[in-house]
Chains A and B, each alone.
Chain A
């Protein structure tokens, strides 16, 4: 399978614990995005990378959230001191940057986080 893969698919954690999610994009894609989705809502942008550079972060992304993309390949999203409000589906997507017009993003299956 050469699509976007995310690990783990499900995570249950206690409030206050740290969690880390991994995303492996489609290999030739240079852009990688993280989104968060809660029930009944559309995906909400968190951050994106072009190669290894983190080019944009949402103002919604608190200091407890950090993302990395070492070597411009896989990416990790870490949430420190989790809160119940962090419970959501975390989606990763990748795309190929183009000079004009933009291209479609391919999404992984998501990591569902439940903070208890």
Chain B
């Protein structure tokens, strides 16, 4: 079963616009991670945010975490065509060691 749910399922924007994806989860977590997957390829780790952190930045990426609402968001600023991919959130449970993935958001950036 998948713990995380991403929203929206699909997002289409113009190059240069910002893209925001949301993730909700159900159980207490140790950390939450975001991954990117290009079509038919493996997953690439983007950013990890720990349960005691509220916001984290990495280049054009900004991730927030609200543990009271059990939700996270990923913001990609100034999007590029190369950002076109599926984006997944994954949670590491408080007393577990595996990552549980959501179904992902498909992002399409039009040039």
Task: Give residues in A with beta carbon < 8 Å to B.
Answer: 4, 31, 33, 35, 40-45, 48, 50, 55-56, 89, 91, 93, 97, 101-110, 112
Contacts and interface: CB of A to CB of B under 8 A. Distances in A.
Contact of A110 (B42, B45, B50, B96): B42
Contacts of B78: none
A48 B96 CA distance: 11
A42 B88 contact: yes
Chain B: number of interface residues, binned into ranges: 20 to 34
Contacts of B92: 102
A44 B4 CA distance: 12
Interface in B53-111: 88, 90, 92, 96-104
A83 B45 CA distance: 31
Nearest to A109: B42
Given A33-B98, A42-B102, A107 B30 contact: no
B45 A104 contact: yes
Nearest to A35: B101
23 contacts: A4-B42, A41-B2, A41-B103, A41-B104, A42-B88, A42-B101, A42-B102, A42-B104, A43-B88, A44-B101, A56-B97, A89-B40, A97-B97, A101-B30, A101-B31, A102-B31, A102-B92, A102-B97, A104-B33, A104-B45, A104-B48, A107-B44, A110-B42
Contacts of B4: 42
Contacts of A106: 45
